[in-house]
Amino acid sequence: MLKLFKHFKVNKVLLISLIVIIVMKTIGILYIPTLVADIVNNGVIKGDISYVLKTGGMMIVVAFVTGISAILSTYFSAEVSTSIARDIRSKIFSHSQKLSVEDFKHFSTSSLITRCTSDVNQIENTINMAIEMIIPVPFIVIIGMFLAFHKDPYMALIIFLSGIAVLIFSVLISKKVINLSLNLQIQLDKINSKVRQFISGIRVIRAFNRENYEKKIMNEAFRNYANTNIKMNKIFAVAMPIIMIIMNISAVSILWFGAIRIESRDMLVGDIMAIIEYSIIILFFLVMAMMVLINIPRASACSKRILEVLEYTPEIVDEEANIIKPDNIETLEFKDVTFSYEDAKEHVLNHINFTCEKGKTTAIIGATGSGKSTIAKLVSRLHDLEVGEILINSDININEFSQNTLRDMVSFVPQKAFLFSGTIADNLRHGRKDATLGEIIDAAKIAQADDFIFNQKLGYDSFVAQGGSNFSGGQKQRLCIARALVKKSYIYIFDDSFSALDYKTDARVRADMKDELKDSIVITIAQRISTIMDADQIIVLDEGSIVGKGTHKELLRTCPIYMKIAETQLSKEELI
């Protein structure tokens, strides 16, 4: 856990103030038994009521100050622990934004969620309990033993031996609990993963009538987690009575030997009462400290999981990326580009060479798995190249831009249309927050989304569910296209973004976009030839290599693979 704290700064003034308050609280807790002993020895036994009232008034003041100190220590400890938890979550989220798509294969979505929630909660609770229960222990033990020894060395020895017994027993218990506590977080990861999978795939599960099978899997995960928790609780259920027995034996021993000491006139009754209070306080804080220490291995495991994320080096790093956004982009060139995904046996792209020009549309077509979407991701630098380079204006490598600058120049419509929860207007402004309502409406009209938006009860202020689940596939695609148009970029990439549109809507969208994007570079990836047949340049991919390049008519004559695709989609008249 200490290694994790190196990544964060704690308010030193707050921490020092907290320690001072804890010391004040500790002194107050231990001073009250001393005052009780004085009342009994010097007031009650001697019948001195004025002394009783005077000392009792002092006890009230000490109790009040101790109570205020306890409230402040609780408040400040919560402030410290929650601020650390806030900073950890913020840092995890910020660092995860730097990870590439490939990097996310090392951390599943459910695991990242668990690390941001449950793991951080565990660390936060441990810090809070450590401040409240561990920091006071040295002061409690040292001051308490000193006061007990001052009252009677023999009675102090009983407290010391009882404390040793509690520590030994707590260490034995912790050894059994540590492995169980470490296993809990792993099982929680599995539960989150299975719950997320179940909820995300609920339609498929119901379509195939697999509810009972999924329930069986979920119940097994829940049962394993519950059984581990039950084992831990059984250990604690046995441990607490044994610790209470040790504490009670300590109290009985003090009373037994104390009575002998009183009879021999070596001690007073008030001193016995004070020593019993000291023993209870010391042993109680020792027990609480050990309970917290048992949780520390679990918190330590959580901190290691968080450090795995924070210390993970992203695949894509901006190195000396100082080039500013250019005033204009005339060309985008793929120059001998070769690429493969991590752990892949074969290249996804092999020696790709082509140039996209401003004001022209470059279309990419090919079989599934031929590398079409990979090209789209490389332009936005969602992955880094192994061989070759992608050039802006023939001389600037895209790696020379920062990721933010590069992606600010690109409007990307992904293969899977995704909308964020909020309003339609919020989603369309996702790429440019200062877009006016008029600009949003213009983009929606070009994307043929304006009609169904106005049919919504609140128009552009209508609610969008997470992922856009309250819209059809075609509606989501049109909204995603409109979102890209609102951004006003130099380069537009449409990765199979028209697949859910009917032919009529597809044609209208492309016709309207032609005028809108006449001063931009447009890359269209599609499976349907009707979507790309009007493109200025068509790239045909097969197994990661370019097997054809040209216009629609040229490829019908020169590229057999393109001809085969065309024959399955176009009529004989259209092939002529």
Rounded mean pLDDT, 412-441 = 89
Confidence grade of residue 537 (pLDDT, cut at 50, 70, 90): very high
Residue with tokens 């789209």: 376
Is there a contact between 381 and 316 (Cβ–Cβ < 8 Å)? yes
120 lies in some domain: yes
Q: How far apart are CA 380 and CA 376, in angstroms?
A: 7
**For residue 343, pLDDT beyond 80:** no
91 lies in some domain: yes
Distances (CA, A) of 262 to 259, 266, 271: 5, 6, 10
- CATH of residue 383: 3.40.50.300
28 lies in some domain: yes
Rg value, the chain, Cα: 36
Q: How far apart are CA 211 and CA 516, in angstroms?
A: 48
Coil vs helix vs strand at 265: coil
Domain identity same for 343 and 374:
yes
Domain identity same for 81 and 217:
yes
Q: HSE-up of 162 (CA within 13 Å, CB side)?
A: 32
Higher-confidence residue of 536 and 203: namely 536
Domain identity same for 350 and 207:
no
**For residue 368, pLDDT beyond 60:** yes
**Total domain count, the chain:** 2
Q: What is the pLDDT of residues 538-575, one digit of tens each?
A: 999 988 899 999 998 889 888 989 888 888 887 776 66
CA 375 from chain centre, in angstroms, equals 29
Rounded mean pLDDT, 407-423 = 88
Higher-confidence residue of 167 and 358: namely 358
443 lies in some domain: no
Domain identity same for 198 and 335:
no
Q: How far apart are CA 290 and CA 172, in angstroms?
A: 11
Q: What is the pLDDT of residues 457-511, one digit of tens each?
A: 888 898 988 888 888 888 899 999 999 999 888 999 998 888 888 888 888 888 8
**For residue 31, pLDDT beyond 70:** yes
The pair of three-digit structure tokens given for residue 279, joined into one six-digit string: 């023993």
**For residue 81, pLDDT beyond 70:** yes
Coil vs helix vs strand at 355: strand
Domain identity same for 338 and 197:
no
Is there a contact between 57 and 105 (Cβ–Cβ < 8 Å)? no
Would you put residue 371 in left (φ > 0), alpha (ψ -120 to 50) or beta? left
Res 483: pLDDT: 92
Rounded mean pLDDT, 447-462 = 88
431 lies in some domain: no
Which of 102-106, 110-114, 427-431 shows the highest mean pLDDT? 427-431
Rounded mean pLDDT, 222-229 = 88
Q: How far apart are CA 474 and CA 213, in angstroms?
A: 33
Last residue of a domain, one of 245, 278, 310: 310
Res 484: pLDDT: 92
Coil vs helix vs strand at 532: helix
Last residue of a domain, one of 310, 335, 359: 310
How many distinct helices (H) and strands (E) make up the chain?
21, 12
The pairing of strands 410-413 and 361-366 is: unpaired
Residue 67 burial (CB count, 10 A): 12
Domain identity same for 41 and 135:
yes
The pair of three-digit structure tokens given for residue 356, joined into one six-digit string: 């996209």
| Residue 495 neighbours by CB under 8 Å, 6+ apart | 372, 373, 376, 412, 413, 414, 415, 525
Is there a contact between 81 and 65 (Cβ–Cβ < 8 Å)? no
**For residue 321, pLDDT beyond 60:** no
Element (H, E) at 539: strand 537-542
Last residue of a domain, one of 284, 310, 336: 310
Higher-confidence residue of 221 and 2: namely 221
Q: How far apart are CA 509 and CA 499, in angstroms?
A: 12
Is there a contact between 542 and 370 (Cβ–Cβ < 8 Å)? yes
Domain identity same for 405 and 284:
no
pTM over cut 0.85: no
Cα torsion through 300, 303, 305, 307, rounded to 10: -130
464 lies in some domain: no
- CATH of residue 239: 1.20.1560.10
Residue 77 phi/psi, 5° resolution?
-65, -40
Q: What is the pLDDT of residues 265-280, one digit of tens each?
A: 777 788 888 888 888 8
Domain identity same for 37 and 168:
yes
Percentage of residues of the chain with pLDDT beyond 70: 97
Coil vs helix vs strand at 362: strand
Residue 448 burial (CB count, 10 A): 20
The CA-to-CA distance between both ends of the chain, in Å, stands at: 71
475 lies in some domain: no
**For residue 364, pLDDT beyond 90:** yes
Mean pLDDT taken over the chain: 84
Q: How far apart are CA 26 and CA 30, in angstroms?
A: 6
**For residue 362, pLDDT beyond 90:** yes
Domain identity same for 526 and 553:
yes
- Per DSSP, helices labelled H in 7-48 are 12-38
Element (H, E) at 101: none
Segments forming the whole domain that contains residue 15:
2-310
Q: What is the pLDDT of residues 232-255, one digit of tens each?
A: 888 878 877 888 888 888 888 888
Which of 107-116, 297-306, 405-414 shows the highest mean pLDDT? 405-414
Q: How far apart are CA 448 and CA 477, in angstroms?
A: 10
3-state SS of 128-179 is HHHHHHCCHHHHHHHHHHHHHHHHCHHHHHHHHHHHHHHHHHHHHHHHHHHH
Domain identity same for 77 and 163:
yes
Considering Cα of 460, then 463, then 467, then 471, what sign does the dihedral take? negative
When mean pLDDT is compared across 44-53, 303-312, 348-357, 415-424, the lowest value belongs to 44-53
What are the beta bridge partners of residue 332? Answer: 356, 392
Q: How far apart are CA 500 and CA 367, in angstroms?
A: 18
Domain identity same for 123 and 8:
yes
Res 1: pLDDT: 62
Considering Cα of 326, then 331, then 334, then 335, what sign does the dihedral take? negative
Rounded mean pLDDT, 333-357 = 87
Rounded mean pLDDT, 395-402 = 86
Rounded mean pLDDT, 359-385 = 87
Q: DSSP string of 273-333?
A: HHHHHHHHHHHHHHHHHHHHHHHHHHHHHHHHHHHHHHTPPPSS---S--PPPPS---EEE
Domain identity same for 19 and 134:
yes
Is there a contact between 203 and 210 (Cβ–Cβ < 8 Å)? no
Q: How far apart are CA 158 and CA 168, in angstroms?
A: 16
**For residue 316, pLDDT beyond 90:** no
Residue with tokens 């019993």: 276
Rounded mean pLDDT, 17-22 = 87
467 lies in some domain: no
What are the beta bridge partners of residue 349? Answer: 339
Sheet holding 361-366, edge to edge: 410-413, 491-495, 521-525, 361-366, 537-542, 545-550
